[in-house]
Amino acid sequence: MANPRLRALTRWGKWAKKDWAIAAVGFTIILFALTLLFDSRNPATPDLLSAQDLVPLTLLHRAKATGAFCLDGSLPGYHFQKGFGSGSNNWLLHIEGGGWCNSIETCNIRKRTALGSSNYMDRLVSFAGILSRHPSQNPDFYNWNIVKIRYCDGASLAGHPESEFKNGTKLFFRGHLIWEAIMSELLSLGLSKAKQALLSGCSAGGLATLIHCDDFRDHLPKDATIKCLADAGFFLDEPDVLGNRTMSAFYHDVLQLQGVAKSLHKKCVRRMEPSKCIFPLEIIENVRTPLFIVNPAYDFWQIQHILVPTESDPHGYWRRCRLSIQECDSTQIGTLQGFRSSLLKALSKLEKDKEGGMFINSCFVHCQTWMAETWHSPNSPRINNKTIAESVGDWYFGRKPSKEIDCPHPCNPTCYNMDFTRGV
């Protein structure tokens, strides 16, 4: 019998688009972790996870003075583990993911979760993958100062209070203020003297990384090595299988609700519809800081919400394919290969950038940097026999160019492919 937690989680495939927008990323990350824990391909996984130190939540009390609040008005927070040895003056910041909210209704639901309120956040979390203290898991960054930034605004740390409703609706759109308050605190803790620093993030946190990358660079010493890494945050402005631009319409609502345009590049906002400027294709046109993109070519979140949202599959033709790439027929695989081609086309500018890097594997997965199993372990996904961690390290430290692009599915036997049909 399927694990009851897994069985409950797979029911989310029947939710409406707005419900998925609130919860899908955060909850599917949990599912991802659980699936890896039970994956018989990697019996060492439980030992790796049990070895992690628990890192306490720090609430940002100084945020009161600037009004930098989560959606519900609670204080934002972060987890911080101090660096040591050769990493004492180096910093790695990681912004967690968790989707977005695009209406008063969905933001009100969200504010009663850890993605909208620090009242629901775990007080202790384990650091793994790119956040790990263990050299075997994280060979290049294990002894750096490591910060996990909690995500509680629903707009990729980019909302503005001018857009808040004045009719008694208690929602705080303070994402940009949260970003500024956290930066201020970390600068006072030693980030201002960083020799090397990397801003990273997963999913909606990966998008936040792209939005704030140059601002991060501008806060730090000019002679420091500063770069940014977006994991599963390269969302495409693609039509779905019925020709509707579902994601574009959704982002339009997020921008209108939370005033996100003010955080986007001014040149882009002047040139086109502001909601277009939140897509990474447009963001990377203006980012000056070196970027690395980690993204699966068959990102299950994008397939389930951009390419084949539930409302665009009324007869259920895609039902099993969108839950597991192994269930796709040849025609569906052809559509997925087209989606992969759109991703590679969108990344063509970065591919030509000598300071840029990428790791685009052919896996049906989402975030891959914050789990040991996918970041760097004996069974991690590889391209040209390199793990994600090795590719990122080569790029960050300039050891060698690192632009790894996988061959199309199903060529890579090292992939972790999510299977949401389990227990359905």
Which residue in 203, 248, 362, 377 is the catalytic one? 203
Cis peptide before 76 (omega within 30 of 0): no
Which residue in 160, 176, 212, 366 is the catalytic one? 366
Which residue in 140, 231, 237, 299 is the catalytic one? 299
203 is catalytic: yes
Count of CB atoms within 10 A of residue 103's CB? 15
122 is catalytic: no
**Active-site residue set:** 203, 299, 366
